[in-house]
Amino acid sequence: MRIAYVLTSLGMGGAERQVLALADRMAARGHAVALLVLRPRQPEEWPTPLETDRLDMRKTPVSFLSALMKAGRFLRAFQPDLLHSHTFPANMTARLLHLFSNAAPVISTIHNVYEGSWPRMAAYCLTDPLSLRSVAVSSAAADRYVRLKAVPARKCSVLTNGIDIAEFAPDPERRARMRAGVQAGSEFIWLAVGRITPAKDYPNLLRAFSRVRAVNCAARLWIAGESVGGEFAGVQALAFELGLGDFVRWLGLRRDTPALLDLADGFVLASAWEGMPLVLGEAMAMEKPVVATDVGGVRELVGEAGVLVPAKSPDALAQAMLALMATPVEDRCAIGHAARVRILGGFSMDVKAIEWEILYNSVLQPAK
């Protein structure tokens, strides 16, 4: 099979990482794989050895038309059997390519419960005939898009994110080395990972953490994430306003997430909305006890292997964090072990690649 993956960018986000992991495995399984990337090169990107064509698309009509023409030339040369697109801009572009360039059939993937307001939902609905199937990364996302009539139920599937269980495996020696290196001692380090955007609701996390600090002075919060737009200044100012300046460490964009997870004692996700957060599954694979807001597909991922709280409730989040900190170490280890078992059983990236391959074949057969 010849598969062209259409992405908005190769920036350091979870959706981009998931697509590259899937593309790598499809290539390893003997398929011809190429990447079609809409935006120009980003300052920080996930690396990939796969064939990549950049459209350098910008927000002008001339640039958009030029990008479509360039994409058409690429597809005529590559001759894919399938276009598999991810996130709204790439989904729309792949559908237009199918319409105007006689390109291969399209599978569209929705990575979040919220990909924009009603004009985008209308665009999904109007262009749905140009896609063989829409696939959501969680049942919560699928249900919402069907309810909004952006996607018809008969053409909507769910295929959850996958985790690289080899890369994300706990390493006691690395943990000891990392903690010694930062002189963590008896500190309880909470780790949060994700872009500093409204979706991640860092104000909720900081307000919860201020309540945690008022009760347990051993608590520390490390935040690893790229600053997007003007969000960082606001959340950093809030941290100082809450008196957390000495207890919150802003790590910025990091590429050593497994090592950071090893160092941490617990993982916290305070999001206002999600599709199915990849980093939460990675934390579970690393045997970290997790506390997360019950949004999007989080419940589908965590099951009984973590603690869920309502979104936008710093009191509930703080209570759950404090309860976990008060849990004996042996019990926290058991919680973490159960989390990894859950990932191994239902969310391995290798298993997800097989599921995608089956889906590709099932939707392409009627089209031939």
Here the tokens at position 231 are 């969000």
The pLDDT assigned to 299 comes to 97
Indicate if the pLDDT at residue 367 is higher than 60: no
Distance, in Å, from the CA atom of 206 to the CA atom of 270, rounded to the nearest integer, reads 9
Domain 2-162+348-367 - what CATH class?
A: alpha beta
Mean pLDDT of 184-202: 95
Percent of the chain predicted with pLDDT > 90:
93
Contact criterion met (CB below 8 Å) for 137 and 300: no
The chain-wide mean pLDDT, for the chain, equals 95
Burial class (CB in 10 A: 0-12, 13-18, 19+), 341: middle
Mean pLDDT of 93-112: 92
| Number of residues assigned to the chain | 368
For domain 172-346, is the CATH number 3.40.50.720? no
Which pTM does this prediction carry?
0.93
What are the pLDDT digits (tens) for 252-267? 999 999 999 999 999 9
DSSP 24: H
Residue ranges of the domains in the chain? 2-162+348-367, 172-346
Using DSSP bridges, classify how beta strands 248-252 and 219-224 pair: parallel, antiparallel or unpaired. Answer: parallel
Which amino acid belongs to residue 33?
Answer: V
The pLDDT assigned to 231 comes to 87
Contact criterion met (CB below 8 Å) for 289 and 338: no
220 — pLDDT class (breaks 50, 70, 90): very high
The pLDDT assigned to 346 comes to 93
Indicate if the pLDDT at residue 366 is higher than 70: no
Distance, in Å, from the CA atom of 1 to the CA atom of 294, rounded to the nearest integer, reads 38
Whether the domain at 2-162+348-367 and the domain at 172-346 fall into the same CATH topology: yes
Contact criterion met (CB below 8 Å) for 293 and 318: no
